């Protein structure tokens, strides 16, 4: 990521296991390690996944050591037939396995706690390559490994996330943080309501931005996140570079920016509702309760979120929220008029300051030429005004629900920003 920075330490992460390359599990370990390494100012320039194949793992580790001075592997340290990481290390470093007393004592303690007896297969977990240092694992049975020669350092960590994180935080992070003097900092600018191409067409040239930071554009159906990354020998200077870049970007993005870093849209909406001392009720049709779920993920949301009703059928819309039958017959359930009636009805029903509604065609069926799959209307009702906005999303049911919930929360955010 930071190829132009001289003398910066670089690392590679290698995730080992057939279950990783086959997609049976999500490789959360690499994400954790990459984040933590960058916190110490180390640039992660490559993440590789490799199956349980001796030669493939050996080749991967050898080339990684040729490229960088820090390599961290996860997986393959257990007691089953496909746990072959230690054997690969023996082959790669031309060494042999030896029984480590400390690892054996830890293994015996764990087996005793679990009410199990020692077997030869379990005992093999206490064997380590003779040229390596053990990283004792209080959270599991397999120790981690450290190879440290001629400025090259390679760690082997278990694939179980709890054990991997424990060993990294106990052994690796403190040492790397002590040795390193480079600072890497990030700033995530979260936007919604504009496509990636619209954003970069509006911004234009990034030449000035790249003088201070590196830029990553991260699109999803929630919106587009822009990550700014800065590196410097001084943490203060690194943050100054981020601020310079952010100040350059913000005028182009304006109100499409809804949050920064870890803050979510529902947290942002919650803060605005609290600030204005407003209460909210939500009527959901096509989103099926997703907006209510997101709002109540925020601690303290009971202060402002009073009620959520899923009115999926026309009968429910009429019975629970008094949507006129004539509106449904004349305009249809998916219409501006129905969205407005739902927002008004739920606001009056709950006695809240605001009402929010969704109605749409999530798909994959149910669309027509006039009302295609992905058509959604979102309504907002306050004491002074009730209105609805039309959106046209995708043909995928789950994505449509997610995008509709995001658009509804964003429409509510904008309403709160622009009203007293």
What is the Cα–Cα distance from 160 to 177, expressed in whole angstroms? 24
Co-location of 71 and 105 in the same domain: yes
| Residues 112 and 148 grouped into a single domain | yes
- pLDDT, residue 347, reads 98
The percentage of residues in the chain with a pLDDT greater than 90, rounded to a whole number, is: 85
The predicted model gives 209-218 an average pLDDT of: 92
Q: How far apart are CA 68 and CA 58, in angstroms?
A: 16
**End of a domain among 198, 226, 260?**
260
pLDDT tens for residues 141-175? 889 999 999 889 999 999 999 999 999 999 999 99
Confidence of residue 420 (pLDDT cuts 50, 70, 90): confident
pLDDT tens digits, 187-201: 999 999 999 999 999
Residue 1 lies in a domain: no
DSSP helix/strand/coil, 384: coil
pLDDT at res. 116? 85
CA atoms of 93 and 4, how far apart (whole Å):
32
In the predicted model, is pLDDT for residue 382 greater than 80?
A: yes
Structure tokens that stand for 371 in this block: 């009302």
Please tell me whether residues 27 and 128 are part of one structural domain: yes
**What share of residues in the chain are helix, strand, coil (percent, to 5)?**
45, 25, 30
Q: How many CA atoms lie within 13 A of 366 on its CB side?
A: 16
Its domain, for residue 352, covers 265-418
Q: Is there a single domain that holds both residue 70 and residue 99?
A: yes
With CA atoms as reference, report the closest residue to 110 among 130, 84, 144, 136: 136
Contact at 8 Å (CB) between 286 and 392? no
Last residue of a domain, one of 260, 291, 322: 260
CATH of the domain at 394: 3.90.950.20
Contact assessment for residue 190 and residue 227, using Cβ atoms and an 8 Å cutoff: no
Question: Is residue 4, in this structure, part of any structural domain at all?
Answer: no
Give the three-class secondary structure for 363.
coil
pLDDT band at 224 (very low <50, low <70, confident <90, very high): very high
pLDDT tens-digit readout, 16-54: 999 999 999 999 999 999 999 998 999 999 999 999 999
Are residues 234 and 307 part of one domain? no
- Pair 272, 256 in one domain: no
With respect to residue 372, please indicate whether it lies within any of the assigned structural domains: yes
Assess whether 397 and 274 both reside in one domain. Answer: yes
Strand partners, 13: 47, 72
Q: How many domains does the chain have?
A: 3
pLDDT tens profile 50-82? 999 999 999 999 999 999 999 999 999 988 888
Give the integer Cα–Cα distance in Å for 152 and 209. Answer: 34
The residues pairing with 216 across neighbouring beta strands, listed in sequence order, are 227
Q: What span, in angstroms and rounded, lies between the C-alpha atoms of 133 and 147?
A: 7
What is the C-alpha to C-alpha distance for residues 133 and 143, in angstroms, rounded to an integer? 10
Q: What is the DSSP letter of 125?
A: G
The CATH number of whichever domain residue 218 belongs to comes to: 3.30.70.2860
What mean pLDDT do residues 306-320 have?
Answer: 98
How many other C-beta atoms are found inside a 10 Å radius of the C-beta of residue 67?
A: 12
Residue 209 CB neighbour total at 10 angstroms: 18
Same structural domain for residues 188 and 166?
no
Q: How far apart are CA 209 and CA 186, in angstroms?
A: 14
Both 295 and 241 in one domain: the answer is no
Instruction: Supply the CATH number for residue 134's domain.
Output: 3.40.980.10
| Residue at token pair 């981690």 | 144
Asked, for residue 5, whether it belongs to a domain, the answer is no
* Phi then psi dihedrals of residue 373, to 5 deg: -60, 135
- Are both 322 and 403 inside the same structural domain? yes
Domain-located, residue 146: yes
pLDDT band of 3, cuts 50, 70, 90: low
Residue 386 has pLDDT above 70, yes or no: yes
Query: What is the model's pLDDT at position 410?
Result: 98
């Amino acid at each position: 990521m930071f190829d132009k920075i001289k003398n910066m330490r670089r690392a590679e992460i290698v995730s080992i296991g057939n279950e990783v390359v086959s997609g049976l599990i999500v490789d959360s370990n690499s994400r954790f390690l990459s984040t933590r390494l960058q916190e110490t100012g180390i640039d992660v320039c490559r993440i590789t996944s490799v199956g349980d194949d001796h030669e493939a793992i050996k080749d991967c580790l050898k080339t990684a050591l040729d490229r960088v001075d820090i390599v961290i592997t996860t997986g393959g340290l257990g007691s089953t037939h496909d746990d072959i990481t230690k054997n690969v290390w023996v082959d790669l470093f031309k060494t042999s396995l030896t029984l480590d007393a400390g690892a054996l004592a830890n293994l015996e303690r764990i087996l005793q706690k679990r009410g199990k007896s020692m077997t030869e297969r379990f005992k093999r977990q206490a064997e380590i390559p003779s040229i390596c240092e053990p990283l004792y694992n209080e959270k599991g049975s397999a120790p981690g490994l450290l190879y440290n020669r001629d400025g090259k350092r390679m760690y082997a960590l278990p694939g179980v996330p709890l054990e991997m994180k424990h060993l990294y935080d106990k052994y690796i992070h403190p040492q790397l943080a002590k040795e390193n003097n480079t600072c890497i900092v990030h700033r995530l600018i979260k936007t919604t309501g504009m496509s990636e191409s619209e954003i970069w067409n509006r911004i234009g040239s990034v030449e000035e931005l790249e003088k201070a930071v590196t830029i990553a554009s991260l699109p999803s159906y929630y919106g587009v996140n822009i990550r700014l990354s800065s590196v410097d020998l001084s943490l203060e200077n690194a943050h100054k570079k981020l601020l310079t870049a952010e100040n350059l970007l913000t005028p182009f993005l304006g109100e499409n920016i809804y949050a920064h870093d870890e803050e979510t849209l529902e947290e942002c909406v919650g803060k605005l509702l609290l600030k204005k001392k407003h209460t909210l009720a939500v009527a959901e049709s096509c989103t099926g309760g997703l907006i209510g779920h997101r709002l109540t993920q925020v601690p303290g949301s009971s202060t402002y979120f009073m009620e959520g009703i899923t009115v999926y059928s026309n009968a429910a819309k009429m019975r629970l929220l008094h949507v006129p039958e004539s509106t449904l017959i004349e305009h249809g359930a998916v219409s501006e008029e129905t969205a407005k009636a739902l927002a008004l009805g739920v606001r009056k029903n709950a006695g809240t300051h605001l009402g929010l509604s969704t109605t749409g065609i999530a798909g994959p069926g149910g669309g027509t030429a006039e009302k295609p799959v992905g058509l959604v209307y979102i309504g907002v009702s306050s004491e002074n005004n009730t209105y609805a906005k039309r959106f046209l999303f995708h043909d995928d049911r789950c994505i449509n629900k997610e995008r509709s919930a995001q658009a509804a929360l964003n429409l509510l955010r904008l309403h709160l920003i622009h009203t007293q």
